[in-house]
Structure 1
Amino acid sequence: MTGSTEFGLFAPRKTMTAAVCVVAALALAGCGGKKNDVSGALAPSHVTTIGVNSYLWRASLDALSFMPLVQSDSNGGVIITDWYVNPDKPSERVKVSVTILDQDLRADALRVSAARQIREGDAWVGAPVQAATVQKLENVILTRARDLRRDSVGG
Structure 2
Amino acid sequence: MGIGQTTTSAVIIAGLLALPGCSGGFGNLFGETTTTAPANAERPQRERAKPERETIWDLFSDRDDPNTTVEVNKYLWNAALDVLNFLPLQAADPFTGVMAFGYGTPPGGGRAYKATVFVRDPALDARSIEVALQTQGGGAVSAETAHAVEDAILARARQLRIQDRSL
Q: TM-score normalized by structure 2?
A: 0.53
Gaps of 5+ in 2: 1-68
- CA–CA separation in structure 2 for the residues paired with 1:86 and 1:152: 27
- Give the alignment partner of residue 102 of structure 1, picking from 121, 124, 135: 121
Match of 1:127 in 2: 139
TM-superposition CA deviations, 1:99-152 (whole Å, max 9, x none): 0001111110000110113xxxxxxx3323122211110011000111111111
Q: Which residue of 2 aligns with 1:26?
A: none
Contact kept, 8 Å, 2:99 with 2:117, in 1: the verdict is yes
**Number of residues paired by the alignment?**
98
Offset at residue 65 of structure 1 (A) = 1.2
Contact 2:73 2:123 in 1 (8 A): yes
Q: Write the distance in 2 (CA, Å) between the matches of 1:85 and 1:144.
A: 20
Whose Rg is larger? 2
What displacement does 1:51 show? 3.0
RMSD: 2.1
Aligned residue in 2 for 1:76? 96
CA–CA distance in 2 between the matches of 1:102 and 1:128? 25
1:54 aligned residue? 74
Partner residue, 1:111? 130
- Tell me the distance in 1 between the aligned counterparts of 2:96 and 2:102: 18
Residue of structure 1 in register with 2:19 after alignment: none
Identity over the aligned pairs, expressed in percent? 37
> Which TM-score applies when normalising by structure 1?
0.57
Moved segments of 4+, more than 2 Å? 85-89, 125-128
2:162 aligned partner = 150
More strand by share: 1
1:84 Cα deviation from its structure 2 partner? 1.5
In structure 1, stretches of 5+ residues that fail to align are 1-48, 118-124
Q: Which has the higher contact order (CA 8 A, sep 6+)?
A: 1
